[in-house]
Amino acid sequence: MKTFFLRRSWQRLVVVSAIIAGCTAASAFSADKAETIKVSGNCGSCKKRIEKAVKEVQGVQSATWDKNTKMLAVKFDDSKTNLKAIQDKVVSVGHDIETTKAQDATYAGLPKCCKYREAGAKTH
Ligand SMILES: [Cu+2]
C-alpha cells in the first residue's frame, strides 16, 4: 500500500515536471516580452517624443508612456532587441531614466514645456 502510494506520487511528479518543462520551452520560443520603465518627462510632447523614439527601435511592438505615472510600458520581440537598447533610445532623445541621464546638450534642446529637470516642472 505504501509502495503504491509512493509510486503514484512519483508519477504525478513526472507529469508535473513535464508540464513545467513544456511551458518553459514554449516561452523560450515565444519572444514577446513586456517591460515597464520609469522615464522622466512632463507633457504630451514628451509622450510623443518618447513613444516615437522607442517605436523606432527594431523589434518594439508597442510603447506607451504615461505622463502622470512617468512609466513607459513597452512590448518587444526579445530575439530582435532588448531592454538596454530601448533605454538607450529613450536617453538619446533627451529623457532621463532611473539608471542613466540624458546628455545635457540633448536635454537643452528640448522645448521649454518639456524641461522636466527644472523645479516645479511636475505641475505640467
Ligand atoms: Cu514635454
Residue 90 shares a structural domain with residue 109 = yes
pLDDT for position 80: 96
Instruction: Determine if the pTM surpasses 0.85.
Output: no
C-alpha of residue 115 to centroid of ligand 1, in Å: 7
The more confidently predicted of residues 91 and 6 is 91
Residue 23 shares a structural domain with residue 40 = no
Domain ranges, residue 16: 1-30
C-alpha of residue 55 to centroid of ligand 1, in Å: 18
Residue 100 shares a structural domain with residue 65 = yes
Count the domains in the chain: 2
Rounded to an integer, what distance in angstroms lies between the CA atom of residue 54 and that of residue 63? Answer: 7
Residue 23 shares a structural domain with residue 37 = no
C-alpha of residue 33 to centroid of ligand 1, in Å: 27
pLDDT tens for each residue of 47-89? 999 999 999 999 999 999 999 999 999 999 999 999 999 999 9
pLDDT for position 111: 97
Residue 45 shares a structural domain with residue 7 = no
Rounded to an integer, what distance in angstroms lies between the CA atom of residue 75 and that of residue 36? Answer: 9
Rounded to an integer, what distance in angstroms lies between the CA atom of residue 5 and that of residue 23? Answer: 27
CATH at 62:
3.30.70.100
What is the enclosing helix (H) or strand (E) of 57?
Answer: none
C-alpha of residue 6 to centroid of ligand 1, in Å: 64
Residue 87 CB partners (closer than 8 Å, separation 6+): 37, 97, 99, 100
Place of cell 508612456: 65
Residue 57 shares a structural domain with residue 111 = yes
pLDDT tens for each residue of 14-44? 766 776 676 566 555 558 999 999 999 999 9
Residue 68 shares a structural domain with residue 25 = no
C-alpha of residue 77 to centroid of ligand 1, in Å: 28
Rounded to an integer, what distance in angstroms lies between the CA atom of residue 25 and that of residue 42? Answer: 41
Residue 13 shares a structural domain with residue 47 = no
Residue 24 shares a structural domain with residue 36 = no
Residue 24 shares a structural domain with residue 67 = no
For the residues 8-19, what does the mean pLDDT come to? 66
C-alpha of residue 15 to centroid of ligand 1, in Å: 54
Residue 26 shares a structural domain with residue 38 = no
